[in-house]
Structure 1
Amino acid sequence: MFKPTRLFLPLLAALLAPAAMADTHSGATDPRIESLLTQLGKVRNISEVAVSPDGQQLAWVVDTNGKTGIVLADAHGQHAHNVGLAAKPGVCSEYGMAWAPDSQHLAFLSTCAGATGTMGSKQPDIYVLDTQSQSKPTRLSNLHGYVDALSWAPDGKSLGFLYVEGATRRASALAAAKPALGEIGVEGIEVQRIATLPAQGGALQLLTPADTYVYEFSWAPDSQRVAYVAAPPPGDNNWWVGQLYVQAATSGATRTALVDPHTVSGSLHGLQIALPRWSPDGSRIAFIGGLMSDQGATGGDLYSVSAHGGAPVDLTPGIHVTPAWFSWSSPQSMLVSQVNNGHAQVAEYTVQADQAQQQRVLFTAPGYIGDGTAELSLSLSADHHYIAFAQSSFDVAPEVYAGAVGDQAPSAVTSINAGLKPSWGKAQSVEWDNEGFHVQGWLLYPANYDPTKRYPMIVNIHGGPSSAVMPHWPSVGYGAAPFSALGYFVFMTNPRGSFGEGETFVQANRKDFGYGDLRDTLTGVDAVEKLVPVDDHRLGLTGWSYGGFMSMFVPTQTQRFRAVVAGAGIANWQSYYGQNLIDQWMIPFFGASVYDDPAVYAKSSAINFIKKVKTPTLIVVGERDAECPAPQSFEYWHALRALGVPTSLVVYPNEGHHFYNPVNQRDVLQRALNWFEKYLPPQ
């Protein structure tokens, strides 16, 4: 979602921790909850998929006992076998795959031989496997820090990657923040740079300067240049002011700033840019530009700019889908992954100098797709004739899908999770219109649905707000689908501000958090109640991140919901602005700083309407959340407790915005399930 604070107020946390960790339910745990959590824990996540450039080999990364390993097979998933350094799966972690242009060598990261690194865990290093020989992988690096995004130069002579030398944490605002000690904003700043290594071994070279934080990069077709999105450090804060640069692929080279969204005119002004990609002839660079609330949750219009400079061009103005990822097929064509009405879709586009037009939709996936490198990303052979990705839905657990690029969706080539069946009910797309917008959401039926009964319903609002709910198999961590297994309808909305209906729809909740998107959601609830037997007096509300903000704000605007679970929420945009050290994301959404326009922040702050809240609320948050700081949850909990509203606050130690500890992942979901069962018991 947003990229807020690193300040946690540890003294306040220590004083309140005993109350914060109080149990959220009384009596014995529902045995169905334990059974559900056990079932969710059985899924083996497939985090990466990569097809070789010649389309003949397929590799994927799969989880075994909490450790990731690499499996190599032919293009159809046959003759699969584990590769790498691990003696057996589940012992150490190997991931971060990248095929060499020769389709024979596979680079990857491995912790199997590493000592404890600067981040307190095993240090990953770069290895290269010759897939056509029986030799062991060759170690190329001896790193000391965070490494990500391995990428071969097109000529195969070197490997590029993102590197944070001496890193003490993952380079992500989702990770737990560093303790706020020393001179804030000055000491302990960690910088991510582009680094390269010769493919045959040699010295590491840092291409980009130490005063520039690089978020992503792309090799030019001639291997002589790189394009990248970067900003001054600190990196967590400044992605929203990132610029597009080009420089020679050598250390100390002079860089050229191609696009600065804050100085350009037109539709890109003040927005964000992501996924720079060179055209095959090297003449221009395309990227996605739009209103994006998170690095990694990419969506917007397709833009293009000359590799030598000039004004960027919006290639897709006015489209009613949201491109999230793309790859050039030729200088005049692209393959695009896009969000359309809550669905993942792959389409072909023709590209001219100032326009890109969708020619045909190749397929609409039944669930979420991706190869692990970016949102809705695909792994493609060099000729774009073969495609591979991981896919899951509400009905089918994750598997690897691969096949020829054409008019039909690829089929599964693995059966890693074939034995898993959903314990929740069927999924249905629901669409409605409100205030001139077309809106979509996903409805999960209760398990063992009986149309003669009336059921409670839990409404889930996604994070972002620039994001979208798409069907996917749930994990043990916090999510909406498990509520269906306990007898609830679950309604997951994509209101204004979401991806999937075009950029106008995404920008429709600027300076309006909690109002238009709430009206869209309530209108959707009305639409659902006309379709299925929902008891309007037994409605619950939940969400994480932006959904956590909505879970705090909505009860100040309506009494329609009878129980709430607010995950990593924001109660007071004004105090939030002053607490956090990561404030750049807020200007595009609020239009000004809180010092220049405090009223726009005040009108969306739940704390300003707190006496209207009557709804029992469970509040959960990570102790070191760098996106939605824990003090916001304390502020909301303190107010509800003072007003006599049933509430409980649970703070999870050493967790950030995304929970990594399996014990905490399990506990937060269990507490939420128990909370709703207490206040909205299914009959």
Structure 2
Amino acid sequence: MLKPARLFLPLLAALLAPTAFADTHASGTDPRIDALLTQLGKVRDVNEVAISPDGQQLAWVVETDGKPGIMLADAHGQHAHSVGLAAKPGTCSEEGLAWAPDSRHLAFLSNCAGAASTMGSKQLDIYVLDTQAQDKATRVSNLHGYVHGLSWAPDGKSLAFLYVEGATRRASALAAAKPATGEIGVEGIEVQRVATLPAQGGELQVVTPADSYIYEFSWAPDSQRLAYVAAPAPGDNNWWIAQLYVQAAQAGAARTAVVDPRTVSGPLHGLQIALPRWSPDGSQIAFIGGLMSDEGATGGDIYSVSTTGGAPVNLTPGIHVSPAWFSWSSPQSLLVNQFSNGHSQLAEYAVQAGHAQQQRVLFTAPGSVGSGTAELSLSLSADHHYVAFAQSSFEVAPEVYAGAVGNQIPSAVTSINAGLKPGWGKAQSVEWDNDGFHVQGWLLYPANYDPSKRYPMIVNIHGGPSSAVVPRWPSVGYGAAPFSALGYFVFMTNPRGSFGEGESFVQANRKDFGYGDLRDTLAGVDAVEKMVPVDDHRLGLTGWSYGGFMSMFVPTQTQRFRAVVAGAGIANWQSYYGQNLIDQWMIPFFGASVYDDPAVYAKSSAINFIKKVKTPTLIVVGDRDAECPAPQSFEYWHALRALGVPTSLVVYPNEGHHFNDPQHQRDVLQRALNWFEKYLPPGQ
């Protein structure tokens, strides 16, 4: 999508990117790094998991040679076999699982028979498989664009999905932005809408208005209406001002604006909404509302509102966890998956008289869980007695887990990555108090840890800031765990601004970026140094996105860190406001636009304190990053170079905020490992 931007800045990044990428490549390669990257590349990701409504069948999407494919098994993972159109796993892409209410038909997306699309890869189309027949899946669509989010109507007669007709890119601010050409903000805007299709195939109907970008939707129990979260296009930018609507599932139908966070009073005012879910009787819609810094990174309180509109009610005020996903299990109860103190936790809530009270915690997972549809999502049987999801941790690579919903976590039913063992050290949760807050983080010990030795430590600050570090198996892409494999302690903090301690904790760094969260992080470093033999003179700092900002800002406030790797960072909030393609996210966090209150942006801008920086800094970014544009990295690098601070800037061509090219994913991690080995050698 094209959005307002300064044309010369992305162009400058694109012109300089090949030179930076070629000229700054670190000389020499530690053989341990190559071995580590090879090990990380062996993992097969489990991208989706879906249990049938009757709880008897289980489907999942697993990658083979970088291509997703579908497996089907019984509910215990037995008799697993590949389904779909692929003659051989890894030859084409099949994903997007959706079970029909009859538990017999499975819808999915496949490009195995697709023609070339405007997105540069083969077109995905919708197929329906009869799991009790031997026939191949039936193609029911003929699409020309980006499709995802398949969902069956409760009556099983039709499918709905999110669709960008004629799309040229994946619909996400994390994806590489379009080249900034033409009339910015006017030409080439792509709009994601809800479309429906008869389950047996037939005429596609685009249901929602052409001027509204739809982010999420859900069917009403009567199969006649939809609830959805939407905003005017462009979609990358306007998720932060999205409203909740209800509309009949027909093209041209009038819609009702149910919740507009910009105009409501109370705690939801000016915040974000996500995950609309109809109550079983169709009278209410529950959703999550809170301060969220990215679409898809969901956390907050649970609200409820009448389907005809009115004042939304906060069902969970004052809780000290962050619900991220939920499902109605009855008209008076919810199953809620929530961030809690650095963990993902499934709990049961009773709903009564405008209040949801946690009744019991069903299980706390040892790692990250998800079904692939949303943050912390689970796949549940229709009666909510059975659950399935993918899970990984620092100790265990991704597998499918499934079983009864009860007081313990289900067991793994696959052994996809059973041969993989961690090359890094053990993980430990660390908790401390600071400035009246309870704070948590994760500490990874060095591989082959010897308590008689002193070790360097790398501190990693997560993106967001509204997010949380929860244990997960690392990928080849940039992350913190690989540093542990090379002899470092790695400390991953969840300071104020993070999910997991309640909404007041999330909002505690509004208008205060880089100050309170830094104090929390430094207090955590002090706590770790009292526990284990960390050499305080060999501390490193790294992060991506908001963590990249912190990696640029922190060296202007303290000289405690001796080496930094800043990924997709922000050096100057004032210039960033006019450069990025997602400026709507900033007002909830800063309280006003940069034009109305420049001082609040200036106080958190590293560039305004740049002469205090002495720390050697490696800077990496994608040249088409819409969230944290490359000019921010250029500005920081230029200043350090002018001041004689050791620095290197690497710009990766055709990459957005999230890197997709495997070569780039590998290169950025290798450069970071080399940088820390140079300035924080572990073998001292």
Displacement of 1:253: 0.3
Q: Partner amino acid for 2:672?
A: A
Distance 1:407 1:504 in 2: 29
Aligned positions of 1:525-540 closer than 5 A: 525-540=525-540
Is 2:611 the counterpart of 1:611? yes
Is 2:443 the counterpart of 1:466? no
Displacement of 1:308: 1.7
Q: Partner amino acid for 2:103?
A: S
Q: Partner amino acid for 2:318?
A: G
Distance 2:107 2:185 in 1: 36
Distance 1:6 1:151 in 2: 39
Aligned positions of 1:275-294 closer than 5 A: 275-294=275-294
1:269 maps to which residue? 269
Distance 1:26 1:470 in 2: 31
Distance 1:282 1:373 in 2: 22
Is 2:304 the counterpart of 1:316? no
2:85 maps to which residue? 85
Residues 5 and 184, structure 2, Cα contact 8 Å, conserved in 1? no
Residues 4 and 628, structure 1, Cα contact 8 Å, conserved in 2? no
Pair 1:26–1:59, CA change in 2 (3 A): closer
SS in 2 for 1:274: strand
1:638 maps to which residue? 638
1:52 maps to which residue? 52
Q: Partner amino acid for 1:335?
A: L
Q: Partner amino acid for 2:114?
A: G
Residues 321 and 502, structure 2, Cα contact 8 Å, conserved in 1? yes
1:593 maps to which residue? 593
Q: Partner amino acid for 1:471?
A: P
1:349 maps to which residue? 349
Q: Partner amino acid for 2:583?
A: D
Q: Deviations over 1:193-236 (max 9, x none)?
A: 00000001110001101000000000000000000000000000
Displacement of 1:582: 2.0
SS in 1 for 2:432: strand
Residues 7 and 181, structure 2, Cα contact 8 Å, conserved in 1? no
Residues 6 and 178, structure 1, Cα contact 8 Å, conserved in 2? no
Is 2:389 the counterpart of 1:389? yes
Distance 1:208 1:8 in 2: 36
Residues 622 and 657, structure 2, Cα contact 8 Å, conserved in 1? yes
Distance 2:457 2:9 in 1: 36
SS in 2 for 1:585: helix
Displacement of 1:309: 1.5
1:574 maps to which residue? 574
TM-score by length of 1: 0.99
Q: Partner amino acid for 1:195?
A: A
Aligned positions of 1:158-307 closer than 5 A: 158-307=158-307
2:505 maps to which residue? 505
Displacement of 1:360: 0.2
Is 2:443 the counterpart of 1:443? yes
2:125 maps to which residue? 125
Q: Partner amino acid for 2:608?
A: N
Distance 2:189 2:437 in 1: 43
Q: Deviations over 1:532-588 (max 9, x none)?
A: 000000000000000000000000000000000000000000000111232100000
Residues 24 and 671, structure 1, Cα contact 8 Å, conserved in 2? no
Distance 1:649 1:4 in 2: 26
Distance 1:99 1:546 in 2: 37
Residues 8 and 630, structure 1, Cα contact 8 Å, conserved in 2? no
Q: Deviations over 1:473-508 (max 9, x none)?
A: 000000000000000000000000000000000000
Q: Partner amino acid for 2:174?
A: L
2:28 maps to which residue? 28
Distance 1:13 1:271 in 2: 33
Residues 7 and 579, structure 1, Cα contact 8 Å, conserved in 2? no
Residues 446 and 487, structure 2, Cα contact 8 Å, conserved in 1? yes
Residues 474 and 481, structure 2, Cα contact 8 Å, conserved in 1? yes
1:380 maps to which residue? 380
Displacement of 1:461: 0.1
SS in 2 for 1:674: helix
Displacement of 1:16: 3.3
Residues 18 and 651, structure 2, Cα contact 8 Å, conserved in 1? no
SS in 2 for 1:538: strand
Aligned positions of 1:651-662 closer than 5 A: 651-662=651-662
Displacement of 1:15: 5.1
Pair 1:634–1:181, CA change in 2 (3 A): same
Q: Deviations over 1:245-304 (max 9, x none)?
A: 001011100000000000000000000000000001101000000000001000000000
SS in 2 for 1:584: helix
Distance 2:192 2:269 in 1: 26
1:565 maps to which residue? 565
Residues 443 and 489, structure 1, Cα contact 8 Å, conserved in 2? yes
Residues 17 and 652, structure 2, Cα contact 8 Å, conserved in 1? no
Distance 1:300 1:8 in 2: 38
User: Could you say which structure has the greater relative contact order, defined with CA pairs below 8 angstroms and 6 or more residues apart?
Assistant: 1
Distance 2:578 2:208 in 1: 32
Distance 1:45 1:28 in 2: 30
Residues 4 and 629, structure 1, Cα contact 8 Å, conserved in 2? no
Q: Deviations over 1:433-467 (max 9, x none)?
A: 00000000000000000000000000000000000
Aligned residue pair count: 681
2:480 maps to which residue? 480
SS in 2 for 1:498: coil
Residues 25 and 678, structure 1, Cα contact 8 Å, conserved in 2? no
Is 2:663 the counterpart of 1:663? yes
2:16 maps to which residue? 16
Residues 442 and 492, structure 1, Cα contact 8 Å, conserved in 2? yes
Residues 6 and 578, structure 2, Cα contact 8 Å, conserved in 1? no
Q: Partner amino acid for 1:224?
A: Q
Q: Deviations over 1:404-435 (max 9, x none)?
A: 00001000000000000000000000000000
Distance 1:18 1:388 in 2: 44
SS in 1 for 2:472: coil
Please list every run of 5 or more consecutive structure 1 residues that lacks an aligned counterpart in the other structure. Answer: none
Residues 7 and 580, structure 1, Cα contact 8 Å, conserved in 2? no
Aligned positions of 1:99-178 closer than 5 A: 99-178=99-178
1:404 maps to which residue? 404
Residues 489 and 534, structure 2, Cα contact 8 Å, conserved in 1? yes
Pair 1:191–1:343, CA change in 2 (3 A): same
Q: Deviations over 1:308-327 (max 9, x none)?
A: 21110000000000000000
Please list every run of 5 or more consecutive structure 2 residues that lacks an aligned counterpart in the other structure. Answer: none
Residues 46 and 61, structure 1, Cα contact 8 Å, conserved in 2? yes
Distance 1:269 1:26 in 2: 49
Distance 2:185 2:137 in 1: 41
1:72 maps to which residue? 72
Displacement of 1:27: 4.6
Distance 2:558 2:509 in 1: 19
Q: Partner amino acid for 2:80?
A: A
SS in 1 for 2:583: coil
Distance 2:582 2:528 in 1: 38
Distance 2:268 2:553 in 1: 30
Distance 1:30 1:193 in 2: 49
SS in 2 for 1:644: coil
Q: Partner amino acid for 2:541?
A: L
Q: Deviations over 1:115-160 (max 9, x none)?
A: 1101111000000000000011000111000001000000000000
Pair 1:18–1:147, CA change in 2 (3 A): closer
SS in 2 for 1:187: coil
Displacement of 1:7: 5.5
Q: Partner amino acid for 1:414?
A: T
SS in 2 for 1:239: helix
Q: Partner amino acid for 2:389?
A: F
Distance 2:4 2:409 in 1: 39
Q: Partner amino acid for 1:347?
A: A
Residues 347 and 358, structure 1, Cα contact 8 Å, conserved in 2? yes
TM-score by length of 2: 0.98
Q: Partner amino acid for 1:238?
A: N
